[in-house]
Amino acid sequence: MVEYRYLGNSGLKVSEITYGNWVTHASQVDDSAAIATVHAALDAGITTFDTADTYANTAAEVVLGKALSGQRRESLEIFTKVYWPIGPKGPNDVGLSRKHILEGINGSLQRLGVDYVDLYQAHRYDYETPLEETMQAFADVVRQGKALYIGVSEWTAEQLRAGAALAKELRVPLISNQPQYSMLWRVIEEKVVPTSAELGLSQVVFSPMAQGVLSGKYLPGQPVPAGSRATDEKSGARFIQRYLGDDVLTAVQRLKPIADEVGLKMPQLAIAWVLQNPNVAAALVGASRPEQIASNVAASGVKLEPAVMAAIDAALGDTVVRDSAKTDEVSPKSRP
């Protein structure tokens, strides 16, 4: 069963394996399969579910709402996000303006079929909206009872510091950041993690398996597997390209004996690795089949010895990306 961790400097506990539906619901799998995986997650003790209004252009929220229908609301932690274009993608259907945030939360609640979300997140930083406007709108969402806590995604250390200062002034709980983080992508370690720890924020990390590359199924010198994410333009194919060089794939294969030695499958090793970071509250995992849930959950509670962590570093060598400046490249400088 899944273990639980506090989210930031708050009293909210979340399942350290959190179910995310970025590229699966209303896209990669049909609704019946999506509902089956959510129910498998619930059976495994996962209580925390993350989505966003932009996933499948709002349809993923609808599917998650259906899957969680009938569950005791108080026993769940439901997260969603706002920023990217949705709907007809008009000039105000994007960003972190007061208009889009307040309309966004109403739409998300309707699609999810709930009265509130536990965490409402800024899906990126909006350079076109004054931060004061954004944070005031989030504060109003909390005060209206439509969200209990607020978070952000892929903000730089400087943006986190500015946002946290305003949140403190407005007396609303900013408690998390949702960045990409994996054995291969460690750009948050130098600045974002120490700043977050200082400010009382946790990381809810996505792509702990580097879009599936750390599962070991992509082999150097071989075509990508048929039906894999690398072949599906709707399901994140462009995000995986950075990991498909033979140097990376060869390094990843060196992880297999390490996983074998500690009695884990390679996906489990990848998830367990991100959870060794004390600032990480949860690893976001998706699933297209219920059996994948049981495998992912086996990573919960695993402690990797320092020698194992060192062996992983040695195996991956200089294929690891650590440049903290990469975080600054994630949020568009103008609205998409």
- Rounded to 5 degrees, φ, ψ at 100 are -70, -35
**Which one-letter amino acid corresponds to residue 39?**
H
CB atoms within 10 A of CB 223: 10
Q: In terms of DSSP H, where are the helices of 51-156?
A: 59-68, 98-112, 131-143
- How far is Cα 105 from Cα 329, in angstroms, rounded to an integer? 26
CA 314 remoteness from chain centre: 27
Catalytic residue among 19, 55, 125, 243: 55
CA distances from residue 302 to 49, 121, 272 in whole angstroms, order as listed: 21, 28, 6
Place of tokens 């500690």: 262
In order, the DSSP letters of 86-103 are -TT--TTSSSS-HHHHHH
The verdict on whether 55 is a catalytic residue reads yes
Q: Please identify every residue annotated as catalytic.
A: 55
